[in-house]
């Protein structure tokens, strides 16, 4: 059965609207304020809040626990077991939202929750209790201390073939502003490996056509890195800029027709629609994956790739992209065979 909050609670705190909160709810609210002050991404904040509220509801219903100081490692393990036994969207915080959102109408309703999703939940719970123990000193012991991370299921990242890429690119109508713009965004993502959000926020001032590079600045920590584009794309970007300047005075390199910054979801839909038109399943992050895998397949080194992708370490890059198929490994071997290379 879905997890429900009891209608009447014995609480010791209230929020800004005068609504009573349990100690657990208060600490979640306090944690979210702390995370917001750290300028974390909205997606990260939403993930934290959802995970913690679901866990709090589980603890209340199953163990009558409303104080994080009472949580033990066994409770967390019981929650992991509970998630593995439940299906997708069957675990909800309250019935009101369920009645509005109708999760039971989803095509993946009640299907098994993946190890990756459960791993994300556990990671978020760990972050929360680490905060309570180390930052707030609100609990005497950290219950997550001996909870191991759940290893995600490794899925081979599908590489788009050259033919698939060509067919998708041909779907964009370059006679229109948005069609031409979406074509150039797609080519730039494929050629540089940058994140789609980074691409859509670019301004012409970030482009260095002499060195064929783009300066990327992380808005969260202000760290900088360079990504690079080819000579061929350099010529196409210059042509795009002439076209763009003719119809827009926007500060952005790839603006909307109104001159505002293009939203990720709108570009993603345009790319998916282009792919659907020729039977190719494609999304923006897949272009970044393709860049990384083609880079390594063609002899690039892990250290340079890690810097280009903006990863914190080479290990992070290898963990993300060490999933070549047997066919891809064979192709790479043929290019680097000692007998072939030494001409013996």
Nearest alpha-carbon partner for 251 in 242, 238, 261? 261
- How much is the pLDDT for 88? 46
pLDDT at 312 over 60: yes
Q: 59-70: per-residue pLDDT in tens?
A: 999 999 999 999
- How much is the pLDDT for 6? 39
The mean pLDDT value for 179-198 works out to: 94
- How much is the pLDDT for 51? 93
Kindly state the tokens that stand for 66.
């409303």
The mean pLDDT value for 64-91 works out to: 86
- Architecture, CATH, for domain 162-342: Orthogonal Bundle (1.10)
Cα–Cα distance, 71 to 280 (Å, whole number): 48
Cα–Cα distance, 161 to 166 (Å, whole number): 9
Alpha helices, DSSP H only, in 204-325?
A: 231-247, 264-276, 284-297, 302-309, 314-321
Nearest alpha-carbon partner for 157 in 263, 47, 255, 287? 287
Q: Tell the residue number behind the tokens 């001159």, with chain if given.
A: 259
Q: 121-173: per-residue pLDDT in tens?
A: 999 999 999 999 999 999 999 999 999 888 776 666 678 888 999 999 999 99
Q: How confident is the model at residue 5 (pLDDT cuts 50, 70, 90)?
A: very low
Across all residues in the chain, what is the average pLDDT? Answer: 84
The mean pLDDT value for 257-266 works out to: 95
Cα–Cα distance, 39 to 59 (Å, whole number): 29
Rounded to the nearest 5°, which phi and psi values hold at 337? -60, 130
> What value, to the nearest 5°, has the Cα angle with vertex 40 and ends 35 and 41?
135
Residues of the chain with CATH 1.10.443.10: 162-342
pLDDT at 82 over 70: yes
Cα–Cα distance, 31 to 25 (Å, whole number): 10
pLDDT at 299 over 90: no
- How much is the pLDDT for 317? 77
Cα–Cα distance, 282 to 290 (Å, whole number): 11
Question: Exposure pattern of 205-237 as b/e (b: 16+ CB <10 Å)?
Answer: ebbeeeebbbebeeeeeeeebebebeeebeebb
Cα(first)–Cα(last) distance of the chain, in Å?
A: 69
Nearest alpha-carbon partner for 187 in 253, 127, 251? 253
CB of 76 within 8 A of CB of 21?
no
Kindly state the tokens that stand for 62.
């199953």
- How much is the pLDDT for 25? 94
- How much is the pLDDT for 239? 97
In angstroms, how far is CA 63 from the centroid of its own chain?
33
The mean pLDDT value for 270-292 works out to: 92
pLDDT at 100 over 80: no
The mean pLDDT value for 209-219 works out to: 90
Higher pLDDT, 331 or 98: 331
- How much is the pLDDT for 149? 86
- How much is the pLDDT for 18? 59
CB of 80 within 8 A of CB of 151?
no
Rounded to the nearest 5°, which phi and psi values hold at 198? -65, -40
pLDDT at 7 over 80: no
The mean pLDDT value for 108-126 works out to: 83
Which of 88-92, 302-306, 325-329 has the highest mean predicted lDDT (pLDDT)?
Answer: 302-306
Cα–Cα distance, 62 to 247 (Å, whole number): 61
Helix (DSSP H) and strand (DSSP E) numbers for the chain: 15, 5
The mean pLDDT value for 295-322 works out to: 81
Q: Is the dihedral of CA 242, 243, 247, 252 positive or negative?
A: negative
Cα–Cα distance, 226 to 216 (Å, whole number): 6
- How much is the pLDDT for 15? 57
The mean pLDDT value for 313-326 works out to: 73
Alpha helices, DSSP H only, in 106-145?
A: 115-130
Kindly state the tokens that stand for 153.
């299921």
Q: 216-233: per-residue pLDDT in tens?
A: 987 666 788 999 999 999
């Amino acid at each position: 059965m879905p997890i429900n909050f009891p209608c009447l609670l014995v609480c010791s705190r209230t929020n800004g609207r005068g609504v009573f909160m349990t100690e657990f709810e208060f600490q979640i609210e306090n944690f979210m304020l702390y995370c917001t002050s750290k300028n974390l991404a909205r997606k990260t904040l939403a993930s934290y809040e959802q995970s913690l509220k679901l866990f709090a509801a589980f603890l209340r219903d199953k163990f009558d626990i409303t104080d994080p100081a009472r949580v033990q490692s066994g409770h967390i393990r019981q929650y992991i077991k509970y998630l593995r036994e439940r299906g997708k969207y069957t675990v909800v915080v309250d019935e009101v939202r369920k009645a509005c959102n109708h999760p039971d109408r989803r095509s993946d309703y009640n299907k098994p929750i993946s190890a990756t999703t459960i791993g994300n939940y556990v990671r978020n719970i760990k972050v929360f209790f680490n905060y309570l123990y180390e930052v707030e000193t609100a609990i005497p012991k950290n219950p997550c201390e001996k909870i191991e991370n759940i290893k995600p299921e490794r899925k081979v990242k599908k590489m788009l073939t050259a033919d698939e890429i060509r067919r998708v690119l041909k779907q964009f109508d370059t006679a229109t502003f948005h069609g031409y713009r979406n074509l150039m965004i797609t080519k730039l993502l494929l050629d540089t490996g940058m994140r789609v959000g980074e691409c859509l926020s670019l301004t012409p001032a970030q482009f260095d056509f002499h060195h064929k590079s783009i300066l990327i600045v992380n808005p969260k920590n202000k760290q900088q890195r360079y990504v690079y584009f080819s000579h061929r794309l350099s010529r196409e970007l210059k042509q795009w800029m002439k076209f763009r300047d003719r119809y827009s005075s926007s500060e952005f390199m790839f603006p909307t027709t109104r001159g505002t910054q293009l939203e990720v979801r709108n570009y993603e839909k345009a790319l998916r629609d282009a792919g659907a038109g020729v039977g190719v399943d494609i999304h923006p992050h897949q272009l970044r994956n393709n860049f990384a895998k083609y880079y390594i397949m063609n002899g690039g080194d892990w250290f340079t790739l890690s810097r280009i992708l903006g990863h914190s370490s080479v290990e992070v890059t290898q963990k993300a992209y060490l999933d070549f198929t047997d066919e891809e490994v064979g192709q790479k071997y043929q290019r680097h065979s000692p007998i072939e290379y030494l001409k013996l």
